[in-house]
Amino acid sequence: MNDPGFISLVPTLVVFFLAVITRRPIESLISGSLVGLGIIHGSQFIGGFAGSSIRVMTDPDVAWVILVCGCMGSMIGLLIRTGATSAFTEKMSGYVKSQKSALMATWVLGIFMFVDDYLNSLAVGAAMRNLTDKYKISREKLAYVVDSTAAPISVIIPFSTWGVFFAGLIVANDIAPEGEGLVTYISAIPYMLYAWVAVLLVPVVIAGWIPALGSMKQAETRAQTTGQTVPPGAEHIDKANQSIQPKEGVKPRIRMFVVPMVILIAATLWFDKDFLIGIYITLGCTAAYVMLARILDMHDTFDTIIDGFKTMIEPLGVLVAAFILKDVNDSMGLATYVVTTMEPFLTPELLPAIIFATMGAVSFMTGSNWGVFVIILPIVTSLANNLGADMTLVIGATLSASTFGSHACFYSDATVLTAQATGCTPMQHALTQIPYALIAAAISLAGYVMLAYW
């Protein structure tokens, strides 16, 4: 659309309205997309939907997400089938003696899985489900700890897939010369306030200094009084996660969990932070070892790989629907409309705070974090240059906004994958997490305002 206006908000508002009523993300996302396509194409909206679907399914970034998530499902399936996750849980049980220590162990494990937020959410969630169940911790609380560590820690530790992606964009937008993108990214890390606050807020919540709030309080009360850690309505997700069981007679080996994780991190870092190559290498090596060591035969190994991929079908469906909505929002100029609306209020001092607030809202509404950054960074760069604002502070604010969207939106990739790995629905996870995300956002916004007049 050449002249985006308030109407560009309509598809996303429809999604939120339906999601609140139905608690069903896929249906809500598709309905909002169809409304947007109706605005763009009129009676030809079905053709528009077909075109948007094809663009999404042939997009390299979407293909990357599907392959990475599916292969991670396969990898986790092998770890479960060989008894590796059981061995890891048993080993951790020797150090974990209470609810707080179980959640702190989850937080620490998430920090070590810094190389990629998908790895973090899926591996940590799968590894800690049974252990936190033992201490009657709700799956929603587990999901909060996992999600609040995954993307934020991948942002503030630059040797990750996030660091590589955004460093490349910094160079592409002439913010830094060729080869200096990561250096510029690192210089902005102290100003990525939301990522810092979100990670550091987790132990505060675990310690009880910030109490269980809203839906989280209800979830924790349910788990503590009834022992029902899996929330009502999420039984199908837990059933999918439990569809793969350890093979009878297999001796659990802790190295079968630790070694693949080390290989995955090392391979990803070695191949220019490409997580897809890392998971291919790890999955191939693990499958080969499992067969050569006769832990599983060839049929059982590949059946498990396929079954593991299948467990990711539902979350991948949500993500594809979210990508279609993003495509519609891009066509309607949602991000451009929000930026141009806020432009009259911009000053050099307040630019970072306004960028964080507005871009955080856009990322939250669209469920897109990397995508919003791609669209907005050229505009933000131009505004910062025209106003003479501190570019490292502006980059930090933009990354913080992107992280908030990843963390808070009920259909973002981080939310959907964390919900799948921990055993609750995306809406249950999002609604229980949102009070803490808003606390972190408020602290971050106050921090940007303070930095403006430092």
DSSP 56-117: HHT-HHHHHHHHHHHHHHHHHHHHHHTTHHHHHHHHHHTT--SHHHHHHHHHHHHHHTTT-H
Question: What does pTM read for this prediction?
Answer: 0.84
Whole-angstrom distance, CA of residue 16 vs CA of residue 25: 9
Mean of the per-residue pLDDT values of the chain: 86
- Confidence at residue 145, expressed as pLDDT on a 0 to 100 scale: 95
Residue 312: strand, helix, or coil: coil
Nearest in space to 72 (alpha carbons), one of 292, 262, 310: 310
The answer on pLDDT for 142 being more than 90 is yes
Q: Within 10 Å of residue 242's Cβ, how many Cβ atoms? A: 14
Are residues 89 and 130 in contact, defined by beta-carbon separation less than 8 angstroms?
A: yes
5: pLDDT strictly greater than 90: no
Integer Cα distance of 281 and 9 in angstroms: 42
Is the pLDDT at 3 greater than 70? The verdict is no
Give CA–CA dist 302/203, Å, rounded.
Answer: 40
First to last CA, the chain: 41
pLDDT in tens, 205-264: 999 999 999 899 999 999 999 999 999 999 988 888 888 888 888 887 888 888 998 898
User: Residue 283: its pLDDT value, please?
Assistant: 94
Q: In which region does residue 247 sit, left (phi positive, over 0), alpha (psi from -120 to 50) or beta (all else)?
A: beta
pLDDT score at 434 = 93
C-alpha span between 230 and 79 (Å, rounded): 22
pLDDT of residue 238: 87
User: What's the whole-number mean pLDDT along residues 406-423?
Assistant: 86
For residues 41-56, average pLDDT:
90
- Per-residue buried b or exposed e for 164-201, using 16+ beta carbons within 10 Å of the residue's own CB: bbbbebbbebebbeeeebbebbeebbebbbbbbbbbeb
Cβ(374)–Cβ(333) under 8 Å? no
Please state, for a pLDDT cut of 70, what percent of the chain lies above it: 97
Cβ-contact 398, 359 below 8 angstroms: yes
Q: 369 pLDDT band (50/70/90 cuts)?
A: low
User: What per-residue string of b and e applies to 325-342 under the rule 16 or more CB within 10 Å gives b?
Assistant: bbbbbbbbbbbbbbbeeb
Of residues 347 and 153, more confidently modeled: 153
Q: In angstroms, rounded to a whole number, what is the distance separating the alpha carbons of residues 214 and 133? A: 21
